[in-house]
Amino acid sequence: MLSYLLVTLVAFSLAALGVWLWRRFELRREAVAKATIADLRSMGEVVAAGRYPKIDPHRCIGSGACVAACPEKGVLAVVDGRAKLANPLGCVGHGLCADACPLDAIALVYGSESIGVSLPQIDDALQTNVRGLFICGEASGMGLIRNAVAHGRTAAAHIAASPRRGGGEVKDVVVVGAGPAGIAATLALMEAGLDVTMLDRERLGGTILHYPRAKLVMTGTLDLPLYGAVRSSTMSKEQLVELWEDIDTKVGLPLRSGETVDEVVREEDGSFAVHSTSGWTRAANVILALGRRGSPRKLGVPGEERGKVAYLLLEPEEFAGRHTLVVGGGNSAVECAIALADAGVCASVGISYRRGEFARCRGENRERIAALIAEGKVQPHLKTQVSTIGERDVTLRHDDGREETVANDAVIVQVGGTPPSALLERFGVRMVEKRGHE
């Protein structure tokens, strides 16, 4: 009997200890979420660039299922018994949180009542108000590679089923953009036997080419016509580039690289004239498989015209032996600094950000940059803004007004880009503003 009581007491004590430790962990995580929410609130109202979860507090029971389902740690949290969107800027809009919610308390929306998000008007086939003109990928407001691939297939299927065709010098379809959406659309159109041409200002891969080395992205199952299904929950930048190149080798994509498209004109017969670097290309249909970044946003400070200023990082080796400063605090900027620090080729790596912490980042990026800062591999210049870019230095202005000059050989600006809204409107696409609805 005594041994039974001892065993029961030990079991009860261990269970109580487990509950205490779990509760302590939850309280610590809740405190971090509250701090993130408070920091973002000090910036004014902040919304995600794409779709994000809007939580109904009256239906939410605080189960935490949405938090567990979200692979972007730190975006969602349970605070005071209810799920909260702790860091909207880290959300990529995959929607797994809504799928996991047991009471359908989450809707995926764009913008808010006070901050609108401008998106192109498209139907279920991704066709705009201009008949024969389609928009796929990030420019439609939907991120993620698997969504881009699905978009490309959807638009291509609609075109293949329609009677709109070219003939002679008029292509059946011109696809603008050689990222996942453009590649998937082109493959589906080729499979349907259509005459298609791809145009891209760079080369095969699109926005992915601008990702830092070894960056992991969510993919899922990619069903690619003429190639087959590719199944992987995540892939690195290098793996994705290899995939696109393998597709090109096996299928022979009709890509014309180095072609910047600046005009799409609807002709009297209903076809399109697409103007790019090499001239005009006519087509019966056009698919705009564009990214959402558009042109890189500049700082607008003296010295930014210097050749040492860049707006993307392709390979860290380009900055070997140089004192390099990354400007920005979002995922792109932090991942850039991480890639440079991990490569270990720079004389030094610094990061300048106007906020006091990297609240605009995904959880794994915040953890990694914090570790690199602690190890002395990245020099943080928080609560600063670049005021002047000199030939061999950079001047930073702190929140309190004081200025600091640091040695510098290269600056990489990662402060976002201008959305392609103006370009789309010039093409005749009607834009709609969404304020907190799907």
Residue from 291, 299, 296 nearest 416 by CA:
296
Given phi > 0 = left and psi -120 to 50 = alpha, else beta, which region is 176? beta
Question: Strand pairing partners for 135?
Answer: 288
Tokens 């180095």 locate to: 258
Does residue 33 or residue 391 have the better pLDDT? 391
Burial class (CB in 10 A: 0-12, 13-18, 19+), 223: middle
Confirm or reject CATH 3.50.50.60 for domain 118-294+419-434, answering yes or no. Answer: yes
CATH class entry, domain 19-109: alpha beta
Given phi > 0 = left and psi -120 to 50 = alpha, else beta, which region is 177? left
pLDDT at 432: 87
- Residue range 323-377, pLDDT digits in tens: 999 999 988 899 999 999 999 999 999 999 999 988 777 777 888 999 999 999 9
Helix (H) or strand (E) holding 273: strand 272-276
**DSSP strand pairing (309-310 vs 410-413):** parallel
Q: 309: which residues sit within 8 A by CB, 6+ positions away?
A: 303, 389, 410, 411, 413
Tell me how far apart the alpha carbons of residues 257 and 138 are, in angstroms, rounded to a whole number: 20
Q: Give the largest Cα separation in the chain, rounded.
A: 96
Give the residue-averaged pLDDT of 135-155.
86
Let me know if the fold of 118-294+419-434 is the same as that of 296-416. yes
Domain boundaries, the chain: 19-109, 118-294+419-434, 296-416
Burial class (CB in 10 A: 0-12, 13-18, 19+), 9: exposed
- Residue range 111-133, pLDDT digits in tens: 887 778 788 999 999 999 999 99
Q: Can you name the CATH fold of 296-416?
A: FAD/NAD(P)-binding domain (3.50.50)
